[in-house]
Amino acid sequence: MWRSGAPSETSASTFRRLLARRIIAVYSRRGATVVEFDGDPTVRDESIAAGRTYRPITHAADLAGLDTVEQVDLVVLRWPRPQPLARPRPVDGAVADLFRALHLVITPDGFAVLIVEQRPTQPAPAEVVHLTGLIPEAHAGGMNYLQHVLAITAPVGLTADSADPTRSAANLHGSPTALHLLVFVVRAGHRD
């Protein structure tokens, strides 16, 4: 579990910035490339500040040339993907294909970090069961599961919209922000 900040000092945007900084520091090396599939300016800014090259992939055309990048230590992407490709359907192998593609561009001993926001409508145990289903898909795609990190911040207090009676009791009391990070690795010597 990664915990960030006290209630009075950690807003959602600060939490995301600190989380991006930590992911980059832990899972990449200075001078290496961080590839990110969502065009997130926070990941871009933190990558550059940490001395990494940032490569956004927001369109299929952006994939061209990734094979010429010398050292991709880290790929960051949000899960589930907004495209139909990313919906877990083991029958058609689309998720394993995604991991195969990641495996091809990531340097040996490099990482893929899937950032999964816990949905308020989805109970945590069901969400975790869904996430564990990604592990065999990653393995089928040539990547190894490394760890599941729960990144959490203390409650940030009430906000202006917290007077809305339709919000849950947990949210009314400033529930913590929680993101699941699933980390996968390409082990050295295991490139196809």
Average pLDDT of span 57-73 = 81
Tens-digit pLDDT profile for residues 160-184:
444 444 444 344 445 566 788 999 9
Q: Convert the pLDDT of each residue in 14-34 to its tens digit.
A: 888 999 999 999 999 999 999
What superfamily in CATH does domain 9-146+180-185 come from?
Vaccinia Virus protein VP39 (3.40.50.150)
Choice between 121 and 111, residue whose per-residue pLDDT is larger: 111
**Does residue 120 surpass a pLDDT of 90?**
no
pLDDT for position 73 = 94
User: Can you name the residues that pair with 75 across neighbouring β-strands?
Assistant: 35, 112
97, two tokens: 């294909």
| DSSP helix, strand, coil percent of the chain (3-state; round to 5) | 35, 25, 40
Residue with tokens 């599939």: 37
Per residue in 31-56, pLDDT (tens digit) is 999 999 999 999 999 999 999 999 99
CA-to-CA distance for 40 and 56, rounded, in angstroms?
A: 8
Q: Tens digit of pLDDT for each residue in 128-154?
A: 666 778 899 999 989 999 999 988 876
Q: Domain boundaries in the chain? A: 9-146+180-185
